[in-house]
Chains A and B, each alone.
Chain A
Amino acid sequence: MDFLRPTTLDEALALKAERPGAVPIAGGTDVMVELNFDHRRPEALLDLTGVAELAEWSTSDGQVRLGAGVPYTRVITELGDVLPGLAMASRTVGSPQIRNRGTVGGNLGAASPAGDTHPVLLATGARVEVASVRGGRTIAAEAFYTGVKRNALEPDELITAVHLPPASGAEQFAKVGTRNAMVIAVCSFAVVLRPGYAGVALGSAAPVPRRAAEAERFLVAELPWQTPVPLADSLKRAFAELVAGAADPIDDVRGSAAYRRHALGVLARRALTWAWDDYRNNGGERQCA
């Protein structure tokens, strides 16, 4: 095995083009587990922690560009106001030690159906920026996840950043697990409300994280956008049913398919209530720092 240690993005892309079998490693919270347990013996590791460009975030053209190598702890401390949904999901990742190392880029690279940030990326309409020596492109989050632990990357491409709109309404994320820390999601859920827009997505309840399109259309049509009143129970129940119906879960050690469907409905009802209360109390416009 080789250990490749690029210090610039150009160098990293050249190495990835030369050695498509090299496995990128940033925080190591997924890759090192596979190595420690002998589940994987890649021909090379491509260490991205020395590439400073990947560990930066910036704002331009009304979008946040979050470098693929920014650890969760920094998403929470530096972007909690601008990207509240992503920060919420980041807070539920692992433990302090894991959040100090793990990255959104790594979550996307692993593309586990249970990855905590996926529902937020889907619901906010995020785009994944990838690059290779051939050039760069961006991929809509919903087109990025192609199967269980599979994504739309070509063998010579690296994930360089995620582009997300700053919150302009309300964002919520919720997850079911056996405890509050160190837990992989049994199922997870995100909802994003902006004037005239609703993003709804679920995780750990289908082969890939997915949007619930019908539930989104329902919210756009049925939410009392012009009158800031609490939501009727009937609306919340109908929404919960649409979200549960969008899932395609399996039975596994963490929970049964039936439980996941039920729990998703509960998460959907609760998170929508929190998001709507936040939305109407802020007059539809979130005050951002």
Chain B
Amino acid sequence: MRLNVTVNGEPKQADDVWEGESLLYVLRERLGLPGSKNACEQGECGSCTVYLDGVPVCSCLVAAGQAEGHDVRTVEGLADGDTLDPVQQSFVDAGAVQCGFCTPGLVVAAHDLLHRVPDPSDEEIREALAGNLCRCTGYEKILDAVRNAAATS
């Protein structure tokens, strides 16, 4: 089937999309946006987190057809040109990256948190990031990054 979806503000079209395909697959394999990562494919790890109509979701659990006519914002759509979003910059500054695989999902989840709660408590940060797994066990730096982003934005 053909899929029409707005991604990072631009109307996109993908052809020959299989009806059981996930939004994640469409983003990575058909639209050339590999920022969202494919890890668990069961909503456990959060590495594929994107905004769907402004709400963070696991794109591996969204059927491609469910995104038809909707608005998707991926990690690639957070920066303003060459200027990183404050959350991205904070992850760089804090060294909140080890292997980097979980980073895009964490960045989107943290971005959403700070949009909803500009000055979150540690508990609120932990709760908001509970669906994003980092297997390099780098959570302390990630918490630092979110705290710094909140303080500077």
Contact = CB atoms under 8 A, between A and B. Distances in A.
B61 A28 contact: yes
B66 A25 contact: yes
A235 interface: no
B41 A95 contact: no
B136 interface: no
A64 interface: no
Contacts of B22: 32, 35-36
A94 B112 CA distance: 17
A98 B18 contact: no
14 contacts: A3-B1, A28-B62, A28-B66, A29-B43, A33-B42, A36-B22, A36-B42, A36-B60, A47-B63, A47-B65, A49-B66, A97-B131, A101-B61, A101-B62
A1 B65 contact: no
B19 A95 contact: no
10 shortest interchain CB distances as A-B pairs = A95-B131, A181-B130, A3-B19, A3-B65, A36-B41, A1-B19, A32-B61, A28-B61, A33-B42, A35-B20
Contact of A2 (B19, B61, B112, B130): B19
Sort chain A's interface into a size bin: 20 to 34
B20 A94 contact: no
Contacts of A44: 19
Nearest to B130: A181
A44 B44 CA distance: 25
Interface residues of B, number: 30
A32 B65 contact: no
Contacts of B65: 3, 5, 45, 47
A8 interface: no
B55 interface: yes
Interface in B108-153: 109, 112, 127-128, 130-133
Contacts of B61: 27-29, 32-33, 98, 101
B58 A3 contact: no
Nearest to B55: A100
Given A98-B58, A100-B57, A3 B63 contact: yes
Contact of B63 (A28, A41, A181): A28
A93 B68 CA distance: 27
A1 B18 contact: yes
Given A29-B61, A96-B56, A100-B56, A182 B130 contact: yes
